[in-house]
Amino acid sequence: MADITDIKSIIYTEKTLAMQEDNIVVVQTSTRMSKTGLKEVFREYFGIIPIKINSLNQSGKVKRFRGTIGKQNNTKKFYVKLPEGAQIESLAV
């Protein structure tokens, strides 16, 4: 069962802000989130049923810090198309 705590953040970059004009919100989540789970979260917590959801798996980069090699966490990004006129109040910039 997906929960709102699986959503890590909403991504705000120049590209994603331009996408928000077309009612597309970019959400970064944990790797265990699925499309149907994200759809449930949007329906339960925000009262919006998304039109379309695209997903993107991002593997963590390997970084070197003070001579030791580490790896960043894997994440999942979702591109969520909202219905026309629907807006999430807590996400408004």
Q: Report residue 90's pLDDT band, with 50, 70 and 90 as the boundaries.
A: low
Q: What is the pLDDT of residues 21-69, one digit of tens each?
A: 889 999 999 999 999 999 999 999 888 899 999 999 999 999 998 999 9
Q: Report residue 84's pLDDT band, with 50, 70 and 90 as the boundaries.
A: confident
Give the Cα separation of 53 and 51 in Å (integer).
7
Q: Which domains does the chain have, with CATH numbers?
A: 4-85 (3.30.70.330)
Q: Report residue 5's pLDDT band, with 50, 70 and 90 as the boundaries.
A: confident
5 exposure class (CB count in 10 Å sphere: 0-12, 13-18, 19+): exposed
